[in-house]
Amino acid sequence: TDGKKTIEIAKWIKRDLINLGIDLTLKEVKYEEQEAWERELSSGKYHMLLMGYKATSWGSEEAKADTVKLLYPLFHSGGSANFTFYSNSRVDELLDQLESIDISLSSMREGKLKEINRVLLEDPPTVNLFYITKL
């Protein structure tokens, strides 16, 4: 996207990869051009993507309190932010189950979330190059 920090990070990654002998071209898509942004990320024609993801990006304030609302878009095979095309039937099944379990049933939900975490550790959908705790 076209955020100042995102552009800076993309150039840093490009410089490091070029130093390793990997040639690449950056393609910037303005986030405000939502249709183009979604079309490019969902096209499958890129080998890498740089995407910020925040609790409020894909949901309401409730999403901050409900981990499922954060995970579903990223890791369910039909998720709206699953631009890595990750598909794991067990993760799909667990996320679908979690959507029907009331948020007040925290111990039941926690067990399923831990299993999702375990599957994602064994079958990682991404290779994360960095993590920003605060922008």
List, as one string, the DSSP characters of 22-90. ---------TTSHHHHHHHHTS---S-------TTTSS-HHHHH-HHHHHHHHHSTT-TT-TT----HH
Confidence at residue 62, expressed as pLDDT on a 0 to 100 scale: 55
For 14-62, what is each residue's pLDDT tens digit? 999 999 999 989 988 887 888 888 888 889 898 888 876 665 544 554 5
Under the banding of pLDDT at 50, 70 and 90, the label for residue 123 is: very high
Confidence at residue 5, expressed as pLDDT on a 0 to 100 scale: 83
For residue 129, which phi and psi values (nearest 5 degrees)? -90, -20
For 71-121, what is each residue's pLDDT tens digit? 999 999 999 889 999 999 999 999 999 988 887 788 888 899 999 999 999
Residue 104: helix, strand or coil by DSSP?
Answer: coil
